């Protein structure tokens, strides 16, 4: 079989481990692996596929980013991109494995509905794909947030400051909540459980009155500014597929400025940004990315197209693409309450 593989949307640590997991299984059984460059862009225009060989996958398990390149590529503007991708798949490949988040899996699902031999693989450091307990990149992002908080803790404590730390995560608060829990945050503000500015200040005052002269406040990039008394600016820049570039809203800076304006606190802001996406994956991401990559191979040879390997508990299972392509998995109440028990 000629099995194509692409990575689409934002990169995430662990993508190469998944490509390697898929490829290693395919090579063992004599199949071809065709690497598609730059996500859907590599199928919408001239076919960008090139044969990968075992040596291309050697040494990549611990390498961040994606050896295939990726892109946020809009197949609908101008219209007709999806149809071109469908034709290219039918002309050049026997199967395609599409590694990506909800946007990627929505397109995969559309293609599968039209007969394309597609299998997905769940990737997003935002961890917001429904129907799976694991998404490639999330564990590494959480580890980076936790390590950053450890580092900010010593300087915050030395200077008796409030450190506001902005994390990625889009519309959900997984990275902020789990990174904050692991790093001992003193307050975590996420979209799922909005709090007001008065509640933030009251919490910091309470901490100061109980001899905690410093605080670390983690805010998720997707929190609603209006809940905090801010104004959502119009004309926020968007990315290649029309998604709002949340980091440009500056929510960390906004929260810090409000705390500063209250008086009585010395405040600094750290925006962790793309540090959360770069560099080497954790062992956990390497192992699970390998497992879902290998499971995607099993699905391909079994011709279980229109499916995606997901993790439930400690098992990899197959789910229909349609089941993960819509909606967002949110941080549940009990997990946020656990975080809040340490505020």
- Binders of ligand F6P among residues 74 to 93 (CB under 6 A) are none
Q: State which residue, 126 or 192, has the beta carbon closest to ligand F6P.
A: 126
- Binders of ligand F6P among residues 96 to 125 (CB under 6 A) are 124-125
Segment near ligand F6P (CB under 6 A), from 15-23, 163-171, 257-265, 300-308?
Answer: 163-171
CB 136 within 8 A of CB 43: no
Measured from the CB of residue 168, what is the shortest distance to ligand F6P in angstroms? 3
- Binders of ligand F6P among residues 246 to 265 (CB under 6 A) are 246
Measured from the CB of residue 136, what is the shortest distance to ligand F6P in angstroms? 11
Q: State which residue, 52 or 168, has the beta carbon closest to ligand F6P.
A: 168
Measured from the CB of residue 245, what is the shortest distance to ligand F6P in angstroms? 6
For ligand F6P, which residue has the nearest CB?
168
Measured from the CB of residue 73, what is the shortest distance to ligand F6P in angstroms? 12
Residue from 102, 126, 139, 285 touching ligand F6P (CB under 6 A): that is 126
Which member of 56, 102, 113, 126 is catalytic? 126
128 catalytic residue (yes or no): no
Measured from the CB of residue 338, what is the shortest distance to ligand F6P in angstroms? 23
Count of chain residues binding ligand F6P (CB under 6 A)? 13
Judged by the rule CB under 6 A, the positions of this chain that interact with ligand F6P are 10, 72, 124-126, 168-170, 221, 239, 245-246, 277
Q: Which residues are catalytic?
A: 126
């Amino acid at each position: 079989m000629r099995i194509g593989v692409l990575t689409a949307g934002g990169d995430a640590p662990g993508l190469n481990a998944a490509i390697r997991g898929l490829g290693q299984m395919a090579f063992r059984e004599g199949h071809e692996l065709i690497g598609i460059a730059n996500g859907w862009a590599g199928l919408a225009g001239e076919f960008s596929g090139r044969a990968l060989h075992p040596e291309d996958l050697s040494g990549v398990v611990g390498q961040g980013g994606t050896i295939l390149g990726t892109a946020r590529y809009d197949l609908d503007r101008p219209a007709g991109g999806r149809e071109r991708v469908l034709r290219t798949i039918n002309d050049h490949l026997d199967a395609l494995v599409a590694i990506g988040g909800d946007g990627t899996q929505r397109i995969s699902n559309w293609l599968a509905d039209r007969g394309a031999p597609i299998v997905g693989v769940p990737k997003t450091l935002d961890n917001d794909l429904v129907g799976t307990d694991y998404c490639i990149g999330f564990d590494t992002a959480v580890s980076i947030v936790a390590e950053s908080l450890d580092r900010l803790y010593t300087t915050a404590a030395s200077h008796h400051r409030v450190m506001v730390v902005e994390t990625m995560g889009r519309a959900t608060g997984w990275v902020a909540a789990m990174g904050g829990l692991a790093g001992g945050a003193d307050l975590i503000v996420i979209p799922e459980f909005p709090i007001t500015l008065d509640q933030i200040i009251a919490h910091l005052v309470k901490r100061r009155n109980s001899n905690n002269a410093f605080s670390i406040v983690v805010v998720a990039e997707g929190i609603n500014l209006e809940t905090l008394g801010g104004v959502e600016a119009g004309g926020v820049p968007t990315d290649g597929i029309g998604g709002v570039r949340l980091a440009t809203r500056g929510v960390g800076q906004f929260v810090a400025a409000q705390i500063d304006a209250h008086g009585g606190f010395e405040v600094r802001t750290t925006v962790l940004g793309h540090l959360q996406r770069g560099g080497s994956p954790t062992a956990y991401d390497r192992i699970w990315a390998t497992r879902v990559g290998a499971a995607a191979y099993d699905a391909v040879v079994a011709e279980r197209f229109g499916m995606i390997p997901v993790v439930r508990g400690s098992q990899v299972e197959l789910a229909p693409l349609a089941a993960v392509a819509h909606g967002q998995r949110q941080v549940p109440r009990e997990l946020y309450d656990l975080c809040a028990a340490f505020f």
